[in-house]
Amino acid sequence: MSSRYRGRHRGRHARPSEAPLTVALGVARRPAVTAGMALALVGTGAVGVNASDAVAESDTFSLSSSAAMQAALSARESSSDSARISRDRAGVNTQRAAVSAKAEADAKAKAAADAAAAKAKADALAKARAAAAEKAARDKARASAIANAQQDPRSAARALMADHGWGDSQWRCLNLLWEGESSWDYTAENSSSGAYGIPQSLPASKMAKFGADYRTNPITQIKWGLWYIDQSYGSPCAAWDFWNARYPHWY
């Protein structure tokens, strides 16, 4: 009884200095695992490392050379990927800007071409209308001159000169030539030769080429006279020069 009781009592009532010493010794025997060591072990992916295998907190932790090389390679690859992505993005943006600029330039060019085409069409239409109006005015003046040929044969002759391509530079010569021949009288007749009409056709029947009414219609006479000058001399001024070089005058 006495020895069992003492044993239980001894365990419950140990000497004051024993328990702290035992605890202290027990703590000293266990390697301490700090938070920094645990994080380092997890970061390096160590397998099978537990708290009992950890080194003391005062020991220096270092990566292996292969792990360091892998980390450096990963960093370089990450940097290279970032640079490539940036370059690709810049290239895409540049390409988009170029496409947009080309589209804008094409649109402006098309608008300018359309405007130029519209202006050219409008100008051509205006020119055609002006030419038509001018021709209508000439035709009206010609018709009026022909209708009044007996009263004003000069205006009729001037209008009909255009049929031969002669302009105002030839009008002066024609006017002087026929003034000298007949004074522009469609009934004028040369008593000695029988030449007749404004152009003094000899014989008068030659003018029938342009109408049977050659004796009464100054237009028939003028048409024949212009044709004769064109065929024989080429122009009224050439006929006028020939007329002046002959005496008595004739052509």
- The mean pLDDT value for 147-173 works out to 95
- The per-residue pLDDT for 196 is 98
Contacts 24+ apart (CB under 8 A), 230-235: 230/164, 235/166, 235/170, 235/173
If asked whether residues 86 and 113 sit together in one domain, one would say yes
* pLDDT above 60: residue 226: yes
* pLDDT above 90: residue 128: yes
Q: Domain end: 128, 147, 166, which one? A: 147
Residues in the chain: 251
The pTM of the full predicted model, rounded to 2 decimals, is 0.51
- The mean pLDDT value for 194-200 works out to 97
Q: Domain end: 147, 165, 185, which one? A: 147
- The per-residue pLDDT for 39 is 43
Question: How far is the CA of 246 from the CAs of 105, 188, 239, 251, in angstroms?
Answer: 75, 21, 11, 8
Q: Identify whether 57 is part of a domain.
A: no
Q: Identify whether 5 is part of a domain.
A: no
- The per-residue pLDDT for 46 is 44
Q: Domain end: 147, 162, 178, which one? A: 147
Highest mean pLDDT: which of 54-58, 102-106, 219-223? 219-223
Structure-token match 């330039």, residue found: 105
Q: Identify whether 40 is part of a domain.
A: no
Highest mean pLDDT: which of 23-27, 43-47, 175-179? 175-179
List the domain range (segments joined by +) for residue 119: 79-147
Q: Identify whether 88 is part of a domain.
A: yes
Q: Identify whether 68 is part of a domain.
A: no
The rounded distance, in Å, linking the Cα atoms of 208 and 227 is 13
Nearest of 186, 192, 124 to residue 157 by alpha carbon: 186
Q: Identify whether 189 is part of a domain.
A: yes
If asked whether residues 162 and 234 sit together in one domain, one would say yes
If asked whether residues 230 and 157 sit together in one domain, one would say yes
* pLDDT above 60: residue 193: yes
Domain count, the chain: 2
- Share of residues in the chain with pLDDT > 70 (%): 75
If asked whether residues 167 and 220 sit together in one domain, one would say yes
If asked whether residues 165 and 181 sit together in one domain, one would say yes
* pLDDT above 50: residue 1: no
Band of the pLDDT at 20, cuts 50, 70, 90? Answer: very low
- The per-residue pLDDT for 62 is 65
The whole-angstrom distance between residue 145's C-alpha and the CA centroid of its chain comes to 52
- The per-residue pLDDT for 74 is 84
